[in-house]
Amino acid sequence: MTANIFPYPRCFRFAGGFVCGAAVSTGACIAVLKRYQPDPVEEEPGDTGEQSVHEEIGKFGFPDTGAEVRYYANHVLSYDQAKRTPRWVAEHLTKHKLLGKTDRKHCRFRPDPAIPLLFSAANGDYLHSGWSRGHMAPAGDNKQSERSMAETFYLSNIVPQNYENNAGFWNRLEMYCRDLTSRFHNVWVVSGALALPSEEEEEGGKKTVSYQVIGKDNVAVPTHLFKVILVLNNSPTDLNNNLDQSLSPVPALAAFIVPNQPIGFDRSLTDFQVSLSELESVSGLTFFPKLPTESRTPTVGHIDTRTTTTADNKHEGWRPQASSAAVLPVAADLCMVDGCQLMAFKEFTLYLTGRKVGSARSQEKMDKFMAELKEQGILPDDYLTKLYLRRKEELSNQAPPDTKAGAQ
């Protein structure tokens, strides 16, 4: 005997339609339909309906993502417990905040004590991985206090980053953000990691999201990094004399998506500029939600055109898609206002050599750094020359340890 998988009469299954109407009177059909309607659920005394249902479902709590906003001395972040990296890290930079002499040489990378060990990365994950520990809130933004700088070395603020990218292009981008404080009173920066899809030609253009993980904790290596910059001057009556008095208190912003790979000096920052809505779409984040809606309107008119000019670089994988909506924004495009020019090769090399010379502990090391500069065909500028001579004198005045020991 075949089981009847439809427990209701045929006239109900046809919703009292043609079959039911042809078989019985309209009144009888309505009676049949009512007969098979589910009985109303009687609420228990004191039952508040939907609210009670939700409370019962969550009687023992709901899954916790750990993505809540976490506050530190000079940065704020949201953490991704599954990837063991930050979802985003936010900062507010000013000329005054960047002052200070705290040295990073006393800082050590370590797990964030606020992150449960089950979801935390460890230094061992990065060891021999081929990836550097890349700051999202840079140590260079936190020279005003030992605490704020030490907190940037928490692994909750770190992502696996290509070494050349970290020390080169991304470093220059961080320096550009700090340099903006010389022209704008307030600079807000939000940085983070992305895992974006890539198109496989041999698979017929199918998109896949694939990223490496490192260490026993499976720390996710991002395919791309992002940075959003918002600048704003105070009202004209509050302008500092060191800043351009002609600048108006109108916000300007720019968003960038940078591949996690080496990027040479032949590439400009604007090659990686995208509209804010494009970044929000791929990241799942809404940036600066308290900014007036009209000020957050993406500047798609020139940004999308500019970013798609490099679409033939297949090694970069993902490229932003042009938007069909062209809306004139109220907020200015930072790259149109300020140029978004990163340090050039010569200037950047002099800067790096200066840092090496300044931290050198021997005359031999200093001479090596200066020789390397000469090999690159770059002559030291006045600042580097004076720094070299000053450090040379300081090192010559330092008695060798064995001399001190013999004098005792």
* Helix (H), strand (E) at residue 50: helix 50-57
* d(C-alpha 375, C-alpha 397), whole Å: 29
User: Which pairing describes strands 213-214 and 219-220: parallel, antiparallel, or unpaired?
Assistant: antiparallel
Within 8 A by CB and 6+ apart from 370, the residues are 353, 357, 380, 388
Degrees, nearest 5: CA angle 287-289-295 = 90
Up-side HSE of residue 183: CA atoms within 13 Å toward CB? 15
Please pick, among 135, 224, 302, 315, the residue that the annotation labels catalytic: 135
Q: Is 294 exposed, middle or buried (CB count within 10 Å of its CB: 0-12, 13-18, 19+)?
A: exposed
What distance in Å separates the CA atoms of residue 91 and residue 332, rounded to the nearest whole number?
A: 20
273 backbone dihedrals φ, ψ, rounded to 5°: -80, 140
Q: Which of 97, 123, 136, 92 is nearest to 226 (CA)?
A: 136
Contacts of 407 (CB under 8 A, 6+ apart): none
The helix (H) or strand (E) run that includes residue 29 is helix 26-35
- Active site (annotated) includes residue 135: yes
User: Which amino acids are annotated catalytic?
Assistant: 135
